[in-house]
Amino acid sequence: MDDAGAIAAFWILASLTVGSALMVVVVRNLIHAVVLLILSFLGVAGLYVTLSADFVAVAQVLIYAGAISVLILFAIMLTPQAGRDNAETLLRLPMLLLAVVVGFTIGLVSLETDWSIADRGGFEETASAIGEALLSKYVLPFEMASVLLLVSMIGAIVLVRSEGFSEEE
């Protein structure tokens, strides 16, 4: 992070990420909020790129900006009265307090932590290293996650399955 390009990139991406994240909370229109959330995700992906975590950056775009956002969209579209927008609620004050507490804690921790700076430079390639780690050292969590996903997929199919629909046709 020595040269001017990396520093400029960091500040541009950081302001993009934080700014659009703030706008997600502020804007009234829920669909606008989703679009801004995607912008925030893309900013985070850009930050990963500056940290030479290329695989994580692309996975961030693929999973968060591509898939999770569509999931949120579907949730909004299927919610009754989603058209009434991001209106005022009773939870406003407690949530504000909670946000302040969380923000304060994170800020304090990040200021107090003794950050160690790696001096070995950037990684060459992360994709193959991640793949090997996932299938050797972390194979159990990896398999558990895949089984969990399979279970949820089967559950979804069972939920919407129609009994004897194909037979009566």
Residues in touch with other proteins (CB under 8 A): 5, 29, 31-32, 35, 38, 54-55, 58-59, 61-62, 65-67, 69-70, 73, 77, 125, 127, 159-163, 165-166, 169
* 91 versus 159: smaller Cβ distance to other proteins: 159
* 81 versus 89: smaller Cβ distance to other proteins: 81
CB-count burial class (<10 Å; 0-12, 13-18, 19+) for 89: exposed
Judge whether 45 and 65 are in contact, CB under 8 Å: yes
Half-sphere exposure in the Cβ direction for 93 (13 Å, CA):
1
Work out how close the CB of 90 gets to other proteins at its nearest, in angstroms, rounded to a whole number: 28
Amino acid at 69: S
* 115 versus 165: smaller Cβ distance to other proteins: 165
Judge whether 61 and 47 are in contact, CB under 8 Å: no
Q: How far apart are alpha carbons 26 and 7 in whole angstroms?
A: 28
Work out how close the CB of 88 gets to other proteins at its nearest, in angstroms, rounded to a whole number: 21
Work out how close the CB of 138 gets to other proteins at its nearest, in angstroms, rounded to a whole number: 19
Work out how close the CB of 125 gets to other proteins at its nearest, in angstroms, rounded to a whole number: 5
Sort residue 121 into left (φ over 0), alpha (ψ -120 to 50) or beta.
left
Other beta carbons within 10 Å of 46: 20
First to last CA, the chain: 65
Work out how close the CB of 31 gets to other proteins at its nearest, in angstroms, rounded to a whole number: 6
* 14 versus 64: smaller Cβ distance to other proteins: 64
* 14 versus 55: smaller Cβ distance to other proteins: 55
